[in-house]
Structure formats: structure tokens, C-alpha cells
Chains A and B, each alone.
Chain A
Amino acid sequence: MANLKQLAAKEDLLTGGHRACAGCAAPIIVRQVLLAAEHPVVVGSATGCLEVTTTLFPYTAWKVPFIHNAFENSAATVSGVEAAYQSLKRQGKYDKEVRFIAFGGDGGTYDIGLQSLSGAMERGHQMLYICYDNHAYMNTGIQRSSATPLGAHTTTSPAGKVIPGKKQYRKDLTAIMVAHNIPYVAQTSVSHWRDLVTKVKKALDTPGPTFINVLSPCRLGWGFKPEDTIELAREAVENCFWPLYEVENGVYKLTYKPKEKKPVVDWLKKQTRFRHLFKPGNEELLAKVQEYIDTEWEKLLQKCGVE
């Protein structure tokens, strides 16, 4: 595992000058992912903030081969690329070692792209799928997704007289990927570079399909100052909203355990999407948010065999 100094010496494969918002976590995640790769990579991306902001015609921020397809098709497209590569290899027409990475946001992964992701994982393509999870459809202006947390305000789960923000809990996509019995599944955060880079390297070295879910705070959709992105991600790990763990051949391992599990309210207070939860009448909902985190955390500790 390279240290920070060695990683910093490597060439960034996603250049600056892309049009992501100031404080966007997605390009930081991509740069960390590409720094971790030790082989040439081919990248596929679904429609979303990442694709839109990095490929403004006639420019591209990608210094690696890049293929885009519609919102629901990232995993299917990279399946096709990888199948073509394997075929060329079998025919002896190509002999280089190449890695395939598919990117999608939570909209393109949890919702519309789940079918093609599931298919790709089950068929066993040599592919790493990375979801940058920013909790909503940010590209079209902050609509709820099945990754949006309970109680969050979005433009299609607006907090008002009738509903107090999103009424449903988040879908546990990482668990769904574990249920595919693929060799490597992990959850990591943009705030923990070593954890992220180690997991990406492990995934790329694993034969078969792999999946990593990365927490990607969105300053616009969550409502915080651009300079606080990494801090917001770190706090989500510290309060166990977003635990860091991996599942290797079915075996759970917690890769980071907070010294002291912080209450979630401090984190919620820093984001305008949860502002309404602190108005009188929403105490019960606020308690449910904490309760859900506690339950999920306990379940995870059990799976990881941690006291």
C-alpha cells in the first residue's frame, strides 16, 4: 500500500477544470480510485453529475479510456466492453492486463440501474462497480432517490404540511450486493483516503465482479458550505450513519470503528436538508433516524464479529 506521498507523486487521471461544483466529492473519489489502480483502466459512467461535469463537449477531464451510456446502463455497457476484451484475449489478439471500472451515482445505481448492475454481478464480469452515493438525484436538481435518508427534504419529497421530508428509510444497496455472493463488496467514504484506496486496490486485484459504495456528500443537495465536504463525510462515519466495512467472500470485516459513537443530531444540524426535523412536532422522526442508525450498526457489529 502506497503512502500519501507516493500517491501524490502519481499522475492524476482525472484532470482539474471539470465543471463539478466547488466542494463536490465525486471527482475527489474518482481521483483516489484511479490513483489506486495499478493496471490500465477502462472507465464507464452512467449519466449523472460525474458524467455531465467531466465530459463537456468537446472536452473531457478523463485521461483514461471513457465510455458513457444512459442512466440505467453503466454496468451493462461495461459488461459489453469487458466481454469484448475477454473475447479478444481468448483469440490471442490482445494480451495486456486491463481493469474495468463502472461509475454510477445513487440514482443510476440504487434505482434505474439496479437491474443491469445485478445482471453484471451475477454473470461474473471482471468489473469493479463504484457507486458515489450522494443521496439524491443531484444532476436534475435534488430529487429523492432510494438512497435518500429518512426525513431528508428533496424537491420531490418536500418537507411541508403533509410530509416531513422523505418518508422511507434508505435502501441498503451494499447488503443487496453482498447477497449476490460476489467475491468483494465494500463500503467506504471520501473522507478516509487510505481506507478507500486500499479497498479499490483490493477490488481491482480480485478475480470476478466487485462493488464499492462510496459516501459522496453533495453541498448543494445536503446544504452545507463547500469547504465542509470531507468533514461531513467523516462525521457520517464517526456517528455510524455510514460505517466502513468490507465483505470478502462472504466474510464481514469492520475496517474502521469510531472510538466513540457520536449522536447523529450534530451531523443533521449541519445540513439544511434536515432543518425541518428540528421544528416542534418532528421529535419522533428525529428519534427514528437515530434508532435506525443504532439498529443497523448493532447488526453490522454482529456480522463483523465485533464486540
Chain B
Amino acid sequence: MKDQVELVSGNRAVARGALDAGCRMYFGYPITPQTEIAEYMSMVLPEMNGVFLQAESELAAINMVYGAAGAGRRVMTTSSSPGISLMMEGLSYLSTAELPCVIVNVMRGGPGLGNISPAQGDYFQAVKGGGHGDYRTPVLAPWSVQESYDLTRTAFDLADRWRNPVFILLDGLLGTMMEPLRAREPIPERAAPSWATTGMFAREPGDRAPRSIYTLHMPEGALTEVNRRLQAKYQEITREEVRYDEHFTEDAEVVVVAYGSVARSALQAVRIARQQGRKAGLFRPVTLWPFPEEALGSLSEKVEKILVAEMSSGQMLEDVRLAAAPSCKIDFLGAMGGELIYPGTILARLLEE
């Protein structure tokens, strides 16, 4: 049955990926364009003896995630841009308490209530923080329904490996479009980790001491120590978890840097450009944090120009600028307010001299 190919949406693929990764705890709240994930979970989780819980707000949902993660369960919440903003307090606490969980943002147009069209305006929020304090969260950016499934499974593993919240950034286009999905063998939910607050009364001799989870560190130097440990962990993640994808970059003169659904437009534009004699390529960051700085840096030494295409006013653009060699020209193609970037628009920019 697992060899079957199914036609599903990106939203559904995220839900399926989570279930197949052994996630049985889902907390969420309705918001377009990702409500389908909650609806699907409400349908299947009760049948699996799992937990589907619709919170009274996103603020409550993220803190339910905090509770369930603290209890040592694989847990996920999903939302879209305005709802993710409400979760930012929880993100800061989850990061400091080092609780593994997966948070999915199916991005829509902003700022404010914005609209419900696809956008990538939450890059800064996911990649640079969003909540208070010096924390980081790995951010995965799939570009297809299949990858939405695969990276959701990966996200749970990363969360556990690093005891850290992990973000998945989709956009409204990826979330709602349908493509073939080939699911892999599901795994059972893992056992609660050794740090989880799983219940202990320390009544009998030999009982372990109760564990606690907290983020207030008042004694002198204590918070510095916590921050040092966190930063050391973030450096390790930066070394070990960079993921990216390249197409036609070997001999490219001009390279598009794009992620998510924009990268799909970009790949088509690159193919057409090549047919027309322009040596174009695509560099696609799969982890937005850690950003593939080194790979993009060395690529930028070989190409004339980088074209950053993203559905924002230029957020990833800043990371590209930091990574690229000073000799490389950097161009930008943006779209805001829920407008898509079509292959033709990218193509026109690639054919410019």
C-alpha cells in the first residue's frame, strides 16, 4: 500500500508526514490557507487514539505544544502568518527550554491580516527569530508536495536530535496545490526522552527525582551559561544541517536563488533560458536556517550574476548578500501582497545582459 502514489495537497502531505513520523499529538487553530491540516488531523487522529485538540487561540495552541513536548511526545502545530505571530512568545520559551516540536507556517500575504494568497514575507520571522532573546530554529522550506511530506518527517528527527523547535515554511500555493505523493513506511511514536516530565512522585526508594522544565535563570551567570550552551548548539547545527539543491549550476553565468514555490517558477525559467542560449542555473536553499552560506559563497565566485527571487520585499536577499562574494552582482526580483512570481518574469530578468 505504501508503494501507492496518491494525489494530495501540500497541507495533507504535511499532516501525513507528521503521522508517518510517529506524531500523535496535534494542537491547532483555524486559519486559511492551512485549516485543511487541522481538519484532516481531526478526522484521523481520534481513530489512531491520538490527540487532536483545537485550541481557543494560536497562543494557547503553541503552549499546548510546549506542554506535550515537555511530556516527551512528538508534537506539531500548524498555522499561517498572522497565527504564527501570536505564537512567538511560545517559540522563545520552547527554544530556551529546548523542547523538540514541529511548527508549520503556510505563509499568506501580510503584514496585518493581509490576505490569504501565497507569500514569503515571514522569512525574517522564522529565520532571524521573531520572539525575544538569542534563539534560533532550523527552518525547512519544501518546494513540492512530496518534499512537504519528506521534510515534515525530517523536521521531527531534527527536532529530536537537537532538542529544538523546527520550522517548516510553506506558502499558500504549496499548501493548497495537489501533486502525487509517495509516502514511505510509517514509524511508531518514539519513547519519551530521558529529560521528559513523565510523572514521578519519588515516593519509593530508588525512584528518580522529579524533573522540571523552566526558563527563568536568575542566579548570577546562570543565564549566560544557558545562552552559551544554546549558541554552541546553534553553531553545531550550522555545521551539520545545511541543506540545499542545485540545478544547472555547473557552467552557469547567472544563477537564480529561490526557495519554496518560487523556486519552481525559477527552474522553468532556467530551462527556457538555456534553450535560448543563456547559461542559467538555480540554487535552492532547503534549510533557510542554517543558510547554505558556504555553498552559495563559492558558487557566487564563479557566476556573473545572482538573481534573488522571492515573494517578499527582499528578506532572503539579505542572507544572499552576506554569503555572496563581493565580485558577484546581485539582482532582486520580488513580489508582495500575495502576488506570485511567474516563470516568464524570471526569464525576462535572466535574459537581460
Contacts of B46 on A, CB cut-off 8 Å?
Answer: 162-163
Q: A70-B82, A140-B31, A141-B35 are in contact. Are A156 and B57 (CB under 8 A)?
A: no
Let me know if B113 and A162 touch, CB within 8 A. Answer: no
Closest-CB distance, B8 to chain A (whole angstroms) = 17
Let me know if B35 and A158 touch, CB within 8 A. Answer: no
Q: Which of A47, A157, A158, A161 sits near B113, CB closer than 8 Å?
A: A47
Let me know if A111 and B42 touch, CB within 8 A. Answer: no
B268 within 8 A of A: no
Q: A70-B82, A156-B30, A161-B47 are in contact. Are A146 and B56 (CB under 8 A)?
A: yes
Q: How many angstroms from the CA of A114 to the CA of B60 in the assembled complex?
A: 13
Contacts of A162 on B, CB cut-off 8 Å?
Answer: 46-47
Contacts of A70 on B, CB cut-off 8 Å?
Answer: 82, 112-113
Closest-CB distance, A70 to chain B (whole angstroms) = 6
Q: How many angstroms from the CA of A47 to the CA of B43 in the assembled complex?
A: 26
Contacts of A100 on B, CB cut-off 8 Å?
Answer: none
A137 within 8 A of B: yes
Name the interface residues of A153-191: CB closer than 8 Å to any CB of B. 155-158, 160-163
Q: A111-B56, A163-B46 are in contact. Are A156 and B38 (CB under 8 A)?
A: yes
A112 within 8 A of B: yes
Q: Mark A53-94, 1 if CB is under 8 A from B, else 0.
A: 000000000000000101110000000000000000000000
Contacts of B52 on A, CB cut-off 8 Å?
Answer: 156
Q: How many angstroms from the CA of A107 to the CA of B83 in the assembled complex?
A: 14
Contacts of B315 on A, CB cut-off 8 Å?
Answer: none
Q: How many angstroms from the CA of A231 to the CA of B317 in the assembled complex?
A: 57
| Chain A interface, number of residues (Cβ within 8 angstroms) | 23
Q: Which of B32, B57, B112 sits near A112, CB closer than 8 Å?
A: B57
Let me know if B38 and A143 touch, CB within 8 A. Answer: yes
Name the interface residues of A245-304: CB closer than 8 Å to any CB of B. none
Let me know if A156 and B54 touch, CB within 8 A. Answer: yes
CB-based nearest B residue for A114: B56
CB-based nearest A residue for B39: A155
| Chain B interface, number of residues (Cβ within 8 angstroms) | 20
Contacts of A144 on B, CB cut-off 8 Å?
Answer: 54
Let me know if A143 and B30 touch, CB within 8 A. Answer: yes
CB-based nearest A residue for B43: A158
CB-based nearest A residue for B45: A162
Q: How many angstroms from the CA of A140 to the CA of B54 in the assembled complex?
A: 13
Contacts of A155 on B, CB cut-off 8 Å?
Answer: 35, 39, 42
Let me know if A72 and B57 touch, CB within 8 A. Answer: yes
Q: A68-B113, A158-B42, A161-B47 are in contact. Are A143 and B32 (CB under 8 A)?
A: no
Contacts of B56 on A, CB cut-off 8 Å?
Answer: 111-112, 114, 146
Q: How many angstroms from the CA of A144 to the CA of B31 in the assembled complex?
A: 13
CB-based nearest A residue for B34: A140
CB-based nearest A residue for B56: A111
Closest-CB distance, B175 to chain A (whole angstroms) = 14
Let me know if A160 and B35 touch, CB within 8 A. Answer: no
CB-based nearest B residue for A171: B56
Let me know if B42 and A156 touch, CB within 8 A. Answer: yes
Q: Mark A121-165, 1 if CB is under 8 A from B, else 0.
A: 000000000000000010011011010000000011110111100
Q: How many angstroms from the CA of A184 to the CA of B35 in the assembled complex?
A: 37
Contacts of A156 on B, CB cut-off 8 Å?
Answer: 30, 38-39, 42, 52, 54
Q: How many angstroms from the CA of A107 to the CA of B57 in the assembled complex?
A: 9
Let me know if B47 and A111 touch, CB within 8 A. Answer: no
Q: How many angstroms from the CA of A114 to the CA of B55 in the assembled complex?
A: 13
Closest-CB distance, B37 to chain A (whole angstroms) = 11
CB-based nearest B residue for A155: B39
Q: How many angstroms from the CA of A185 to the CA of B57 in the assembled complex?
A: 25
Q: How many angstroms from the CA of A112 to the CA of B32 in the assembled complex?
A: 16
Q: A47-B113, A112-B57 are in contact. Are A141 and B30 (CB under 8 A)?
A: yes
17 contacts between A and B (CB under 8 A): A70-B113, A72-B86, A111-B56, A111-B57, A112-B56, A114-B56, A140-B30, A140-B32, A141-B32, A141-B35, A141-B39, A143-B35, A155-B42, A156-B30, A156-B38, A160-B47, A161-B47
* Top 7 closest pairs, chain A to chain B, by CB: A140-B30, A112-B57, A111-B56, A162-B46, A156-B42, A143-B30, A155-B39
User: A: which residues have CB within 8 A of B?
Assistant: 47, 68, 70-72, 107, 111-112, 114, 137, 140-141, 143-144, 146, 155-158, 160-163
Q: A155-B35, A157-B42 are in contact. List 18 more A-B contacts (CB 8 A).
A: A47-B113, A70-B82, A112-B58, A137-B30, A140-B35, A141-B32, A143-B35, A143-B39, A143-B54, A155-B39, A156-B38, A156-B42, A156-B52, A156-B54, A158-B43, A161-B47, A162-B46, A163-B46
